Amino acid sequence: MIYSRLLVDLASQTLTAHDAHGRVLKSYPVSTAANGPGERRGSFCTPRGRHRIRAAIGAGLPADAVFVGRRPTGEHYSEALAAEAPGRDWILARILWLCGTQPRYNRFGEVDSMRRYIYLHGCPDSVPLGRPGSHGCIRMRNADLIELFDRLQAGCEVVVLENAAAPLSADEMVIRALPWRLATDAAAVREQVFIREMGVPAEVERDAADATALHLVAWDRFGRAVGCARLLPDGWVGRMAVVSDWRGRGVGARLLTTALELASGQGWPLLRLNAQADVCGFYARYGFVPDGEPFMAAGILHQRMRRSLVDNSAIGEA
C-alpha cells in the first residue's frame, strides 16, 4: 500500500492514511499538542491546514534510535536512559518534517510550520496516545511510524484538521490577504470559475492589475481553496469567485466583509466594484448602490456599484 495523503484529526487524535483516490487505507493513534491547535511560533500548538513532508529522516535506523536536532545521537532509548534525563522530549525512530503550503496561515513569518520544527515522530511506549500531550509535534508509536514512513509516496500531503467529522461551515473558514506571487490558490479558483465554467478568455481574466492587487483567499477546513477576491489600490474590489459546491453557504459574504474591513482600515472613503447583473442584490445587502448604466464585459451584463466607507457601522448579512 502506498500512502498519498495523511489526515490528522485533532478531535479524535487519529491519523488516517489515504491512497491517490482518497480511500482510507489505515488509521493510527497519535498525540498532538497539549496546548491545542495553533500556528504561531512559540505557542507549542499543533498547526492546522495543508502541509507537505519536507524531509523524511532516519531510514534504516532501529526503532529505539534517539534524535536531537534531527540527527541520530547514537543512543538507544531505554527506561534507564529516560531515568538519566527526566523531562526530556524524546524523539525516536523516524522524523517526518512538515512544511506548510498555505502562505500566512502555516507558511512564512510567525506561522511557519517548518521553521517551528513540526514533525511526525516516534516516542516511548510509555507515552499515552489518543489524547493531546505533545509540545506541538505529532507523536506516533515507533512501529506505526516506521510502517507509515516506508509506505509514503514522494510529495505526500499532510492535512491537519481540528475536527474532521464536524459539518463544513463558512464560519470556520480561513481567509488571508496575499500578494499575487503567493496567491496561487486564488489563481486556481479564478481559472475554475471564470475561465472553465463561465468561458471568460484567459487573456481577459488575467490582467496587469493582479500584480498590484491584494488577493483574498478563502480555505475550507481541509485546506482547499473555495473562494477568492482582489482589492486594487485605487479602491476597487473584483474577481470575486466561489467554487460551485460552496455557493450559497456564506463564502462570498465572508470575502466581501473582509474586503470592506481591509478597505476601511486603509482609510479609503469609497469602495467600487463591477457586479454581474444577476448578483446585484447580494452587493446591495452590503450597502452597495448602482453607479451608472449597465454594460457588457466579457460577454456578461455588469452593473457598476459603489459603497461609502465613511460610516461602515452597519455591514449587512447574507
Query: Which cell goes with 263?
Result: 478597505
Instruction: Report helix, strand or coil for 172.
Output: helix
Q: Alpha-carbon distance 118 to 39, whole Å?
A: 10
Domain residue ranges of the chain, discontinuous segments joined by +: 3-161, 170-308
Name the DSSP letter for residue 275. E
Q: In degrees, to the nearest 5, what angle opens at C-alpha 126 toward C-alphas 121 and 131? A: 65
- Whole-number pLDDT of residue 316: 43
pTM, to two decimals: 0.82
As annotated, the active-site residues are 121, 137
Q: Same CATH topology for 3-161 and 170-308?
A: no
Q: What is the CATH number of domain 3-161?
A: 2.40.440.10
> For residues 33 and 45, is the Cβ–Cβ distance under 8 A?
yes
CA distance 159 to 196: 27
pLDDT tens digits in sequence order for the chain, 318 residues long: 899 999 999 999 999 999 999 899 999 999 999 999 999 999 999 999 999 999 999 999 999 999 999 999 999 999 999 999 888 999 999 999 999 999 999 999 999 999 999 999 999 999 999 999 999 999 999 999 999 999 999 889 999 999 988 888 888 889 999 999 999 999 999 999 999 999 999 999 999 999 999 999 999 988 899 999 999 999 999 999 999 999 999 999 999 999 999 999 999 999 999 999 999 999 999 999 999 999 998 888 999 999 999 864 444 433
CA distance linking residue 15 with residue 160, whole number of Å: 9
What's the DSSP call for residue 48? P
CA dist 265 and 5 (Å) reads: 39
pLDDT for position 167: 85
Distance between CA 121 and CA 81 in Å, rounded? 19
CATH code for the structural domain at 170-308: 3.40.630.30
Helix (H, G, I), strand (E, B) or coil at 259: helix
